[in-house]
Every structure is written in C-alpha cells, then in structure tokens.
Structure 1
Amino acid sequence: MNFEVTELAVGRGATSVLTGLSFELKAGELVGLIGPNGSGKTSL
C-alpha cells in the first residue's frame, strides 16, 4: 500500500503552518518527522 500527499497546506487562524508539502511513501519505507515545537508535525 502506498501513501501520497500532494500540495498539502495547513494553517491555524491567519498563520500558515505548512504550504505545498508533497511526498509519497511506498510499502516498507520508514519515515521520521522532526522539527521545532509549533512547526506542524502533529497537524500532518
């Protein structure tokens, strides 16, 4: 099974948190997501 995200945009109020995020995960791939507090990791 594959998972694909294309041009994801997330905001909170008037603040843009993520803009234009695109990626594809294929079966068996492992990904880690790191970043500072408030950068949108949980929103993703």
Structure 2
Amino acid sequence: IRIVIIDSITFHFRQHFEDLALRTRVLSSMVLKLMKVAKKYKLA
C-alpha cells in the first residue's frame, strides 16, 4: 500500500451518533489509532 486517503469520515458520525460525548470519544480513539500507525510506519 502506497497511500491511504481518508475523506469525510466525520460525515458518517454526524448521521448516526446523536450522543455528542460518545461521538467525540469514538472519533478521538480513531484519530489516536491512525496517528500511531502513521508514526510507526513514518507516514505523513
């Protein structure tokens, strides 16, 4: 895999999560995981 593009991921959360606190926690968790992968593989 050479490139991974994530576009408009928050759109789906706005549509399906009415609980703002839960939505924030889930999105934060996903971002942290993506940042760990990026750091591990030296990605931008």
Q: Decide which structure has the larger Cα Rg and report it.
A: 2
Structure showing greater relative contact order (alpha-carbon pairs closer than 8 Å, 6 or more residues apart): 1
TM over 0.5: same fold? no
Which has more helix, going by share of residues?
Answer: 2
> Normalising by the residue count of structure 2, what TM-score does the alignment of the two structures yield?
0.26
> Normalising by the residue count of structure 1, what TM-score does the alignment of the two structures yield?
0.26
